[in-house]
């Protein structure tokens, strides 16, 4: 259904093919696509009826389901076989643009400097540390390559070291279903202890270095319970500390940078509350800061004798208040930074002598450092018109430095240390991009399209400078997301170089429903405003074509998860506008999924999409649900990708979508379904495997746009 991020658009009359014409991009004598069997079902609700002829594909244990998906995979492979040399070329280019043996900037935590590193040829990271200084011997804490041996999938979840540095709590997922197995490793012996737990989420150590708090999920994959565990005891005897009864809410545990307090957060999409505990007395009673109020969020942190609390109680863009630890209830909240309608206070980072405001203004992230004693403010400046910046790992509470990360569409990821006293930034590392990459050869721009209702929508664009400055002849690749208040950040991608160097203009639409212009931007694209997300994306695409950033017959679009919903909705609304579509793990069966409260995430997401059990929401959601709005006619070339073990958007949504669309499309453009049978929502694990996946997608797009070199 619906989370994380994958991004990346026009079709002409040539695509509106008649039944006796053939697309030039379909291999000759291609095999016929699979035909899914039809078992007619109907759901009658709110005066309407939902027809679902492919509901049977939900039966994961039915061997016919896997057989159908494998048949689709075989068909996709046959259609894509002529592109295999291009796929291999793209893959080799992508690998050539990464430093295969590399290490991140180490960060200090207690007595150790921690870091992770890559080794050439290995799929996963190696986590390590050095005691006292970077000159001492290395101790490997966790080699994910070792964990992955014999597994088709491996992902690391939590990674938390006790304050004394002796114990590591970590969690792993070996299926892609995002169900994590909790482990505790004694770093003195490098042996895992018998202490284990299933379906674990967040993890936090108490100050005694023996007590571990962790959360677990329920049958709907909602983190709903918090347990306390004493190292060396059976986890079956762990004490239940808190259980969240409201199915809209999830829980998490965290420890403050000051190491003084632990928090239990309970959050829905619109409401939150927090409990706190002195981390030195893990057996004590947790205390509530303020009881939850519908549509009010607050998030505390700690320094000295104060909690610093980010809250939206006075407005959607949040303000900052402080409260005494001795009595932190709302009656004692004192305003520090007021709510500002045009500035979104996205987060705060609290240190002993200063704090950092993480803000978004005019669609761009800002970092403002504030001295706790004097209140003096200094905003860190950035050199480019389009960029992404945010906190890096900052474990030390008593420090004069704030570490942050910066990157843009043309500048590789960079890590800086900001000297709070001197107001200066020092570059600690910029990722090396081998293979001849020169950022001076590329240009990024921030553009503004006018939406259907007159609202200005930002677009980030990047292309090679030596293109004939947008003249309307270039292939164009537009990505979007637009949900959950998640911003579409202008980040660097070494894989993107392969597209830019082939003359493709890459664009990222910061549409409503996302968080690019704050919480009100999110509100304007969710619930009964969701159609704005789709019409914004169409407006951005039209703007780019009208201003000659791409040819009207060479536009491809890409989105994943909720961005896959975007792909399905805009393709239904304007199939004539796009030449090709890449849709990753798409949330396309909106009505059936949101009517099934037993599925993961459904109940909690009533506050994002609406509850279709209620007629007004049902009627509105039915207007855009991609699966329910498919109709007879011509469609662009479409590649749909999913994973059999996806826990967020179940594999059957894209499978049903493709099966139904096959019976309705009147053109001969390709429609492909590719299912990773051993992965989850994020696709394949392992960096080389991921490059192969991206190369596959790019080969599809380039072929459909007529760019095959």
Record the tokens describing residue 140, joined without a space: 């490997």
Using CA atoms, how far apart are residues 675 and 677, in angstroms rounded to an integer? Answer: 6
Task: Give which of 89, 97, 91, 101 is closest to 436, Cα–Cα.
Answer: 97
Using CA atoms, how far apart are residues 106 and 113, in angstroms rounded to an integer? Answer: 6
Residue 329 CB coordination number (10 Å): 12
Q: Please give, one letter per residue, the 3-state secondary structure of 620-667.
A: HHHCCCCHHHCCCECCCEEEEEEECCCCCCCCHHHHHHHHHHHCCECC
Question: Is residue 251 a contact partner of residue 244, using CB atoms and an 8 Å limit?
Answer: yes
Task: Please pick, among 516, 589, 646, 697, the residue that the annotation labels catalytic.
Answer: 646
Using CA atoms, how far apart are residues 484 and 521, in angstroms rounded to an integer? Answer: 10
Tokens 């649900």 correspond to what residue? 625
Cα dist from 318 to 83, 360, 461, 482, whole Å: 50, 11, 30, 20
Task: Please pick, among 303, 510, 681, 685, the residue that the annotation labels catalytic.
Answer: 681
Task: Give which of 324, 236, 318, 303 is closest to 272, Cα–Cα.
Answer: 318
Using CA atoms, how far apart are residues 213 and 241, in angstroms rounded to an integer? Answer: 9
Decide if 668 is catalytic: no
Question: Is residue 604 a contact partner of residue 268, using CB atoms and an 8 Å limit?
Answer: yes
Question: Angle, to 10 degrees, between the axis of helix 687-704 and the axis of helix 84-96?
Answer: 130
Using CA atoms, how far apart are residues 187 and 164, in angstroms rounded to an integer? Answer: 11
> Environment class of residue 622 by beta-carbon count within 10 Å: exposed (0-12), middle (13-18) or buried (19+)?
middle
Using CA atoms, how far apart are residues 125 and 144, in angstroms rounded to an integer? Answer: 6
Task: Please pick, among 171, 202, 444, 561, the residue that the annotation labels catalytic.
Answer: 561
Q: Are strands 401-407 and 414-419 parallel, antiparallel or unpaired?
A: antiparallel
Cα dist from 232 to 184, 196, 236, 242, 617, whole Å: 10, 10, 12, 22, 51
Cα angle 214, 103, 131; round to 5? 65
Decide if 561 is catalytic: yes
- Indicate if the alpha-carbon torsion angle 83, 84, 87, 92 is positive or negative: negative
Torsion angle in degrees (nearest 10) through CA of 528, 532, 535, 538 = -140
Decide if 186 is catalytic: no
Which residue numbers are catalytic?
561, 646, 681
């Amino acid at each position: 259904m619906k989370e994380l991020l994958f991004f990346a658009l026009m079709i002409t009359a040539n695509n509106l093919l008649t039944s006796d014409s053939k697309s030039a991009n379909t291999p000759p004598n291609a095999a016929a696509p699979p035909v899914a069997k039809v078992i007619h079902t109907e759901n009658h609700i709110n005066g309407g009826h939902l027809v679902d002829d492919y509901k049977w594909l939900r039966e994961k244990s039915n061997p016919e389901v896997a057989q159908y998906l494998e048949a689709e995979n075989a068909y996709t492979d046959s259609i894509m076989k002529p592109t295999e040399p291009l796929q291999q070329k793209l893959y080799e280019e992508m690998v050539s643009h990464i430093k295969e043996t590399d290490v991140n900037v180490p960060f200090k935590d207690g007595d150790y400097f921690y870091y992770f590193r890559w080794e050439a040829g290995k799929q996963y990271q190696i986590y390590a540390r050095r005691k006292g200084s970077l000159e001492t011997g290395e101790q490997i804490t966790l080699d994910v390559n070792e964990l992955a041996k014999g597994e088709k999938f491996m992902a690391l979840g939590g990674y938390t070291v006790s304050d004394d540095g002796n114990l590591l709590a970590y969690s792993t997922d070996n299926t892609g279903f995002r169900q994590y197995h909790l482990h505790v490793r004694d770093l003195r012996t490098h042996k895992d202890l018998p202490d284990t737990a299933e379906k674990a989420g967040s993890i936090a150590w108490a100050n005694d270095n023996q007590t571990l708090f962790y959360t677990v999920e329920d049958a709907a994959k909602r983190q709903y319970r918090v347990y306390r565990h004493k190292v060396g005891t059976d986890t079956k005897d762990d004490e239940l500390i808190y259980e969240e009864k409201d199915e809209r809410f999830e829980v998490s545990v965290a420890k403050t940078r000051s190491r003084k307090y632990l928090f239990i957060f309970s959050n829905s999409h619109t409401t939150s509350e927090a409990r706190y505990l002195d981390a030195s007395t893990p057996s004590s009673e947790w205390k509530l800061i303020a009881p939850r109020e519908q549509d009010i969020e607050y998030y505390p942190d700690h320094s000295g004798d104060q909690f610093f609390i980010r809250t939206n109680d006075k407005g959607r863009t949040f303000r900052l208040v402080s409260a005494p630890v001795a009595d932190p209830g709302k009656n004692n909240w004192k305003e520090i930074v007021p709510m500002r309608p045009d500035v979104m206070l996205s987060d705060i980072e609290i240190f002993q002598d200063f704090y950092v405001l993480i803000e978004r203004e005019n669609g761009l992230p800002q970092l403002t450092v504030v001295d706790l004693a004097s209140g003096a403010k200094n905003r860190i400046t950035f050199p480019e018109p389009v960029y992404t910046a945010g906190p890096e790992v900052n474990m030390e509470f008593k420090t004069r430095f704030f570490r942050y990360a910066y990157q843009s569409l043309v500048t590789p990821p960079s890590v800086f240390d900001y000297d709070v006293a001197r107001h200066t930034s020092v570059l600690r590392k910029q990722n090396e991009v081998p293979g001849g990459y020169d950022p001076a050869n590329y240009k990024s721009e921030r553009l503004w399209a006018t939406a259907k209702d007159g609202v200005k929508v930002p677009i980030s664009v990047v292309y090679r400078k030596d293109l004939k400055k947008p003249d309307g002849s270039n292939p164009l690749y537009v990505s979007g997301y637009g949900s959950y208040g998640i911003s579409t950040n202008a980040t660097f991608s070494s894989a993107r170089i392969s597209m830019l160097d082939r003359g493709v203009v890459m664009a990222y639409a910061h549409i409503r429903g996302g968080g690019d212009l704050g919480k009100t931007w999110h509100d304007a694209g969710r619930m009964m405003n969701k159609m704005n997300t789709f019409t914004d994306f169409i407006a951005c695409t039209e703007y780019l074509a009208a201003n000659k950033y791409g040819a009207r017959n060479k536009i491809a679009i890409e989105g994943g998860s909720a961005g896959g919903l975007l792909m399905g909705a805009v393709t239904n609304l304007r199939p004539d506008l796009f030449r090709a579509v890449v849709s990753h793990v798409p949330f396309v069966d909106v009505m059936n999924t949101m009517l099934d409260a037993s599925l993961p995430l459904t109940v909690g997401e009533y506050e994002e999409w609406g509850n279709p059990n209620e007629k007004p929401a049902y009627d509105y959601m039915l207007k855009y649900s991609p699966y329910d709005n498919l109709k007879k006619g011509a469609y662009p070339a479409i590649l749909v990708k999913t994973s059999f073990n996806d826990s967020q958007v179940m594999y059957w949504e894209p499978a049903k979508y493709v099966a139904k669309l096959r019976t309705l499309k009147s053109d001969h453009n390709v429609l492909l379904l590719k299912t990773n049978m051993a992965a989850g929502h994020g696709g394949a694990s392992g960096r080389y495997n991921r490059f192969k996946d991206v190369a596959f997608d790019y080969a599809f797009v380039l072929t459909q746009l007529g760019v095959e070199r």
